[in-house]
Amino acid sequence: MASVEAAAEHERILREIESTDTNCIGPTLRSVYDGQEHGLFMEKLDARIRNHDREIEKMCNHHFQGFVDSITELLKVRGEAQKLKSQVTETNRRLQDDGKDLTRSMEELQQCRVQQRNIATTIDKLTHCLPVLEMYGRLQEQMKAKRYYPALRTLEQLEQTCLPRAGQYRFCSIMAENIPRLRTQIRDTAMTQLRDFLESIRKHSDKIGETAMKQAQLQRSLDSSVSTQPRALIGRRCRKDAAAALGTESGGQGGIPVSEQDSGILDVEEDEEEEDEVPGAHDLVDFSPVYRCLHIYTVLGLRDVFENYYRKQRRKQARLVLQPHSNMHETLEGYRRYFNQIVGFFVVEDHVLHTTQGLVNRAYVEELWELALSKIVAALRTHSSYCDDPDLILDLKNLIVLFADTLQGYGFPVSQLFDMLLEMREQYGEILLKRWNITFRQVLDQDNYSPIPVSTEQEYRSYTAQFPLQDPDLDKLPFPKKLPFSEFVPKVYCQLKEFIYACLKYSEDLHLSSTEVDDMIRKSTNLLLTRTLSHCLQYGIKKKNVGLAELVQVIINTTHLEQSCHFLEEFISNITNVPPDTVNATKLYGTSTFKDARHAAEAEIYTSLNAKIDQFLQLADYDWTAPVPAGGAPAASDYLVDLIAFLRSTFSVFTNLPGKVAQTACMSACKHISTCLLQLLLDPEVRYVSMGALHQLNTDVHECESFARAGPVAGFQGDTLLLAFSDLRQLLDLFTQWDWSTYLADYGKPSCKYLRVNPNTALTLLEKMKETSKKNNVFAQFRKTDRDRQKLIDTIIKQLRNLIAQHQT
């Protein structure tokens, strides 16, 4: 097919050569030389020439005679032609001589036209090449100055506009080959700078957060006029400027990005009001690598790759930041560094959120914050549980509040942090209770359990300033005088107020209402009263070295503390601005606490008094087989005389006690003496009891009754105190008077003379007397009186047993 087409084309060219004027044959011949079948064409041309030569030969043979004729005629005119030639030659010579100058001028004109055309062509080519060279030079300068985003824009313009206009030049080819490499170099350099930036902000998060928290603390401390203005976010102006610049760049064509004009964080404050602002945390970090890398990757069409990489790296950094040190709980500085790093991290993310378009979005930041919040709360719960210092807990609470307020200023929800602070409030309360437990015990250990002597008005006012003592009678007494309570009372009252202040300090800045603060303080104070102070008072009362005088002073102290409870109520109401009569307001349990302590002290007085009585009774040495004295009633036992003397001196100290306490103590002591004497009489180890021993015991009971009748403590009506000895008295009267007939006859009747004598007790004692009679009267069977007495005892024993059996059934 190709040879057929070539033959047809050659035939057409030959026809065109034959039919075309010789002046226009050039393009036709050029098409032959431009083709690939030059040799074949020459062969066809030679063949066509030979054909034409044969035709010419035929034609010449046909017209030969005419040709000869023509030659003959031509020879004739040759002479004329020679003449004409000479004339033409001469004319031509003269013309040539005359046209030399013109030819020279034409040649010069032609040369100028060529030069002009070359100059125009050169100018046109340079017009297209110079912008390329200039732009490439600018590109090199931008690369050298590390202005990569403009360099990328220059590359784009160079590739898409300038190089196609310049044409196919070698330097253009070299430039075109370098463009992908330069793009890769810019991308890699931008990524390197981003990595350096990420490493830098990881190292400087602590400082960024510290600055942000300082500024938040300064914002909180502004006066009310400033605080009513809209919240000035840290770095807000920088954020708006950067966002505006970024918006301008993205909306315009070929504008310079934020990273090349202004990084968005190093603004020069021009307004006077802004010049007074404390530098924000953003001033510590240059964010231009982020903006630059974002723009570069956006131009390269790799924005998604960049966003994913940035978010992935920041998530890794977030996990590192949220991992607390193992010894963070040991010092407040450990917590502060932890919070500073977290705040620094989220300050950076918030700044990036508001100064870039979509690099991070609100959903991503909120997801990070939710992750961080859960880890922060867990870490704080774990580490704060190790703390046993209330001051450190309070400082930590203030630090958490500042941390929460700082991040809340950036729009992060922090309600979980405040909920956790309320949880820590219970731990703080427990630690306070432990500290105040030690304090109360120290106060108790250091107290001398003696009324406070005051010799001057100044001393008196000093104590009344510490404790709300209201005693008009005491005020009228001259100096020197004594306050009824010991040092324990004003110290405890002051410590109660200190505890309330400590609780109030924790409740500050927790965004609680006055009612909630009041309720928290009251509940904590109730715990202090009912648990800590109550236990300490019990500890003070139960101490081994506490005597009756000390116990008496404890009762006086608790009485005054009980009377001061309503002053504590007023004190709490004053500092919380919540009236004490508010509905559902928690009431203090101080009154019941001090009542319980006083009752415990009273019971301890009774117990101690009885223990002292037991010590005296241990000295009792009765001769249970002694005969009946012949010279009348025997003298009272020595131990009992000493016991009565001790009781008199003891009860004289009870004058400052409430009347019922002294009366109860006195009645308890008398009952205890009566009970112990009866137990001595009925002791199983005492197998024998003689009538002489009963007379001695009867004398001792008479001594006790004389003591009771004398009224050692005021307030008893009639012979009420004697009732303590009534059981023992009736038993002794029954045996010493031997009035069994009356007892047996009237037993069970309300009017019975021996109503308090239990038949079992009488039986036990009677059996001991029977054994005594058997032991002392070996020859009793030989005396009729003794035999009769023995029979009488047996008869009474039998009747008592029948009486007991009847009542049991």
Give the 3-state secondary structure of 407-471.
Answer: HHCCCCCCHHHHHHHHHHHHHHHHHHHHHHHHHHHHHHHHCCCCCEEECCHHHHHHHHHHCCCCC
Tell me the per-residue pLDDT of 260-303, one tens digit each, with 9 for 90 and over. 333 333 333 333 334 345 455 456 777 878 888 888 888 888 88
DSSP 8-state secondary structure symbol assigned to residue 637: P
3-state helix, strand, coil in the chain (%, to 5): 75, 0, 20
Positive/negative CA dihedral, 462, 467, 473, 474: negative
**pLDDT of 471-497, one tens digit each?**
888 888 888 888 888 898 999 999 999
**Is the CB of residue 590 less than 8 Å from the CB of residue 562?**
yes
Longest CA span, the chain: 232
Give the model's pLDDT for residue 251: 36
Tell me how far CA of residue 231 lies from CA of 227, 307, 339, 411, 527, in angstroms: 8, 31, 22, 11, 40
CB 714 within 8 A of CB 660: no
Task: Give the tokens for residue 454.
Answer: 């005051």
Q: What confidence score (pLDDT) does residue 786 get?
A: 64
Whole-number Å distance between alpha carbons of 66 and 634: 213
Residue type, 337: R
Rounded Cα gap, residues 31 and 149, in angstroms:
52
Secondary structure (3-state) at 63: coil
Tell the burial category of 804 from Cβ atoms under 10 Å away from its Cβ (0-12, 13-18, 19+): middle
Identify whether the C-beta of residue 264 lies closer than 8 Å to the C-beta of residue 290: no
Q: Which of 632, 634, 618, 624 is nearest to 702 (CA)?
A: 634
Instruction: Say which DSSP state 228 is in.
Output: T
- The per-residue pLDDT for 116 is 93
> What is the pLDDT at residue 2?
67
Low-confidence ranges of the chain (pLDDT < 70): 1-2, 21-23, 223-283, 544, 581-585, 590, 630-633, 655-656, 658-659, 772-786, 809
Q: How far is CA 724 from CA 244, 657, 701, 708, 756, in A?
A: 99, 21, 11, 9, 11
- Side chain identity at residue 428, one-letter code: Y
pLDDT value at residue 590: 67
> Cα-atom radius of gyration of the chain, to the nearest Å?
63
Q: How far is CA 418 from CA 29, 213, 341, 380, 401, in A?
A: 99, 17, 20, 12, 8
Whether 572 and 581 have beta carbons less than 8 Å apart is answered as no
In 3D space, the residue among 764, 637, 762 whose CA is nearest the CA of residue 695 turns out to be 637
- Which residues make beta-bridge pairs with 454? 481
- For residue range 126-152, list pLDDT tens digits in order: 887 787 788 778 878 877 887 777 877
- How many C-beta atoms surround the C-beta of residue 224 within 10 A? 6
Are 520 and 586 within 8 A, CB to CB? Answer: no
Nearest to 611 by CA among 653, 538, 551: 551
Report the alpha-carbon distance of residue 747 to residue 745 in Å, rounded.
6
